[in-house]
Structure 1
């Protein structure tokens, strides 16, 4: 029988008495390769359970007769899944129903974790057509504020509706446009143009890997990975410019600001497993300014049932 490993908040490891071998910093590439385990998970199959919270904030501009404002839509639930050598072969979420009298609500079919890769749909165009038909069957043309389908940069679909005073956010196939942009940035950068270096932080007893990556001709973003005591990595932070646009994106309405990614993992007997992750951004689209914030907490993890102990 495979037992669950409960993930608890990780406490800082006491500094070692040994002097760190600074010659290990001469070549940053091994540290870069080792850091990949944070985004892929352990080199084995694990089953996980946890909680998920997604918040969409709609910023409504003021006018002559109104002061404008902000509406927050929150989706919360639990999830379970199987992560096999960096690929999600199963990930199922159970969402808490929103109150019927809520002025804003969200329909979300699944979420997109930072850790691991979700295989693309075999026929994204067919899924997009089904999503579009469903929205049009429930809302009139005047009630559909905006709707977008899959592209090379985004795997899913999204629609915004307004029925009376009630605003709806509908996301299908991991089509969370704002967070998707952040992941696409990480996946599409040119590694030949990066600046990579590692340092030993004596006061914190850890190795810090810093990678500066060109985002455009004038902007860069930074990935920082921490290795406590020079051992397995357990922390990743991505620092984006205050505002940026994706390359080849001419429409100013797709500008992104206040984007950030954070990941905290734990080193266990199963390897480095995800603990807590967060991603957020504010994007201008469909005439709305929309903020996205996703928080994922991995509560329990165990080896897959078909693996040997």
Structure 2
């Protein structure tokens, strides 16, 4: 007997990826239910070789559902996650709504799997920000070896991180450039086609954006509260995959060769690092892949025990959908769920 899984926000970019990954990885589900708002009710979405008809979230009974994977945005999650969790269904949430809640574990399975034991306080588990997820996968094995003191990271984030509207805007603006049509900014604050925007999420009093703040607080929560991190997050005209230029200062000595070997053995990491033309990964190549790719590993001669590296990952997969499915697998593999009667 398997599990009953609900995917909330099944018509969105991440929701569709969740359905694909549940199927591809053979998750032990007796039934998978696609849920969204009433306006999407009846829409068809793919699940392996099956087609699911979307049901309305606000009329669905979660009492016989084991896991709800939510990718419907923060406001929906704040309203619905506690209601769903109260039925006994475990919520794995992709939004930022619960990440800083001390009673909600924030999980990347390769980094802090043991923290999942605390999920029962609220029956909610948070998935980190997409840019944080790939960063901590790369930082964790290096931190275990040499203790990270400080991280300086600049991100180059794809428009898919802003949802379908972001992808549509890049496509429409790029087309407009070539046919000399006027460009319109809807989703982004400035033109995104053939441009970079150093602004993701709202500005805070500190001058940081909320996206930059998220990377700092989430890294501390999952990896080590003593780590100092500063970030500059930039939206770039790439459809899928986030890239990050990362500078790390360690407490203990570590060479580039040592880091390369450590990362080659680390779960979730794939090192592509040849010092030659094309001997590195780009976002285009990482799209559709599950790994966190690491390239350009080199020593920073301006500080003691410093390294630079380039980190790339598909933000819709490891940054969101894949990580939530891995969390669900962790619940199953550790026996933290009780199987309910098959639907």
Please report the TM-score for the alignment, with normalisation by the length of structure 1. 0.26
Higher relative contact order (CA 8 A, sep 6+): 1
> Of the two, which has the highest radius of gyration?
1
In proportion to residue count, which structure has more helix? 2
Please report the TM-score for the alignment, with normalisation by the length of structure 2. 0.24
